[in-house]
Amino acid sequence: MLNQCRDEARLVSTNNVIQKYKPCQDNIQRGKQMNYQQNTSHRFRMFPPVVKNLLIINAIFFLATIAIKSSMHIDLTDYLGLHLINASKFQPYQLITYMFMHGGFSHIFFNMFALWMFGKVLEEFWGPKRFIVYYLITGVGAALIHYVVLHYQMAPVLSVINDYIQSPSHEKLMTFINSPNFRPLSYDIQNHFNEFKIAYNNLISNNPAKALQLSADFMSQYKIDFLNLPVVIGASGAVFGLLLAFGMMFPNQQIFIIPIPIPIKAKYFVIFYGIIELYSGISNTPGDNVAHFAHLGGMLFGFILIKYWKMRDKNKNNTIYY
């Protein structure tokens, strides 16, 4: 099929008129899909190299997290999970390492199952280089979208904290501590608050000015701890990018989803799952620790990247012959 396109190009070049020839790109794309289908019957691999190595790396990170925490009492999630960019614990490498960290067996099992199920098909279709680029970009994009949304959600609390640091008062302190804005959810926050509470109560009667300065210092520390509190881990963002890619590359491929007894076309499944994630993210149900906007971010960056590749490949095939 590719040779046929080249033959057509040569026929155009024999004319004495300079013209722009558009290769039969639809035929090329159909040829790739036909070649893929032929390859699946002859040399389709259950574990292509990139997918296999991603599974191994995720397993190593998971086992290392358990072993180091039990033996050395060090939580690798705090170092390799992704913190907010303006948090003191943030490190640039976390944009990559967070994708290989998981919070439990079910978390890593379902992510790795989806990575294998969709990833093996896409790696065979795209090739290893394009596949790993896509996987990493969607993973990083998922984190960026999640933290843009999270920063917007945290902005009101940060505004209250900054206002208190500028003008502390006993009334403002009591209001803040008794409001939903104060959340002692981490060991650091709880420990700092307990120490502050004892010192503040001892000073407020005898030296109110010093007590207020102490409260401002506590709020500054609380801001640091508050920014360090959110940590994102998991390959879900990149996996949702793979899900979207599968739906775009093989829109009419039927897949079975337990417990639904009938097959669903991939394109409908992707749309349905995307709507669920959008609804869940907007609802922001208390106690829901799933990063829904990270999932949507992986899908968004995947969509943009696939469209960019298609446009670039199309421009490469638009050749001028003389």
Q: How far apart are CA 166 and CA 163, in angstroms?
A: 5
Choosing from 178, 202, 225, the residue where a domain stops is 225
- In contact, 305 and 244? CB cutoff 8 Å: no
- Do residues 208 and 165 share a domain? yes
Task: Give me the pLDDT at residue 87, please.
Answer: 94
For residues 45 and 99, the model is more confident at 99
Choosing from 225, 255, 283, the residue where a domain stops is 225
Q: How far apart are CA 130 and CA 96, in angstroms?
A: 17
What's the whole-number average pLDDT of the chain?
84
pLDDT at 24 > cutoff 80:
no
Residue 92 lies in a domain: yes
Task: Give me the pLDDT at residue 43, please.
Answer: 53
Which are the contacts of 322, defined by CB distance < 8 A and separation ≥ 6?
Answer: 13, 18
Arithmetic mean of pLDDT, 91-100: 96
Output the CA torsion 276→281→287→290 (10° steps). 80
H/E element holding 295? helix 292-317
What is the DSSP secondary structure assignment for residue 132, as one 8-state letter? H
Alpha helices (H) in 43-183, listed in sequence order: 49-72, 77-80, 94-97, 105-126, 128-166, 170-177
Residue 105 lies in a domain: yes
Q: Which two tokens stand for residue 190?
A: 């709880």
Q: Kindly indicate the confidence band of residue 275, based on its pLDDT and cuts at 50, 70 and 90.
A: confident
Choosing from 225, 251, 282, the residue where a domain stops is 225
Q: What percent of the chain has pLDDT over 90?
A: 61
Q: Kindly indicate the confidence band of residue 287, based on its pLDDT and cuts at 50, 70 and 90.
A: low
Which are the contacts of 41, defined by CB distance < 8 A and separation ≥ 6?
Answer: none
Q: How many domains does the chain have?
A: 3
Q: What percent of the chain has pLDDT over 70?
A: 83
- Do residues 53 and 38 share a domain? no
- Of the ranges 33-37, 84-88, 191-195, which one carries the lowest mean pLDDT score? 33-37
Q: How far apart are CA 183 and CA 162, in angstroms?
A: 16
Residue 280 lies in a domain: yes
- Do residues 172 and 158 share a domain? yes
Q: Which two tokens stand for residue 48?
A: 């292509």
- Of the ranges 39-48, 103-112, 129-138, 241-250, which one carries the lowest mean pLDDT score? 39-48
Task: Give me the pLDDT at residue 44, please.
Answer: 60
- Do residues 195 and 260 share a domain? no
Peptide bond into 259 cis (omega under 30): yes
Q: What is the CATH number of the domain that holds 302?
A: 1.20.1540.10
- Do residues 216 and 69 share a domain? no
Residue 300 lies in a domain: yes
- Do residues 118 and 241 share a domain? yes
Task: Give me the pLDDT at residue 183, please.
Answer: 85
Q: What is the identity of the amino acid at 301? A: F
Residue 124 lies in a domain: yes
- Do residues 176 and 269 share a domain? no
Rg of the chain over all Cα atoms, to the nearest angstrom: 27
CA distances from 109 to 65, 105, 156, 305 (A): 15, 6, 36, 27
Q: How far apart are CA 126 and CA 106, in angstroms?
A: 29
Q: How far apart are CA 213 and CA 215, in angstroms?
A: 5
Q: How far apart are CA 86 and CA 303, in angstroms?
A: 28
Residue 262 lies in a domain: yes
pLDDT digits (tens, 9 = 90+) for 253-270: 888 777 777 888 888 888
Residue 14 lies in a domain: no
Arithmetic mean of pLDDT, 155-184: 92
- Do residues 104 and 168 share a domain? no
Residue 270 lies in a domain: yes
- Do residues 237 and 96 share a domain? yes
H/E element holding 21? strand 19-21
Q: How far apart are CA 311 and CA 266, in angstroms?
A: 23
Q: Which two tokens stand for residue 147?
A: 């933290």
Q: How far apart are CA 178 and CA 47, in angstroms?
A: 54
Task: Give me the pLDDT at residue 176, please.
Answer: 93
pTM of the model: 0.79
* Residue 139 structural domain: 47-153+230-321
- Do residues 37 and 82 share a domain? no
Task: Give me the pLDDT at residue 6, please.
Answer: 40
- Do residues 267 and 137 share a domain? yes
- Coil/strand/helix, residue 141: helix
Task: Give me the pLDDT at residue 263, please.
Answer: 85
- Do residues 114 and 165 share a domain? no
Q: Which two tokens stand for residue 296?
A: 């949507």
Q: How long a stretch of residues is the chain?
A: 322
Handedness of CA 82, 86, 89, 91 (dihedral sign): positive
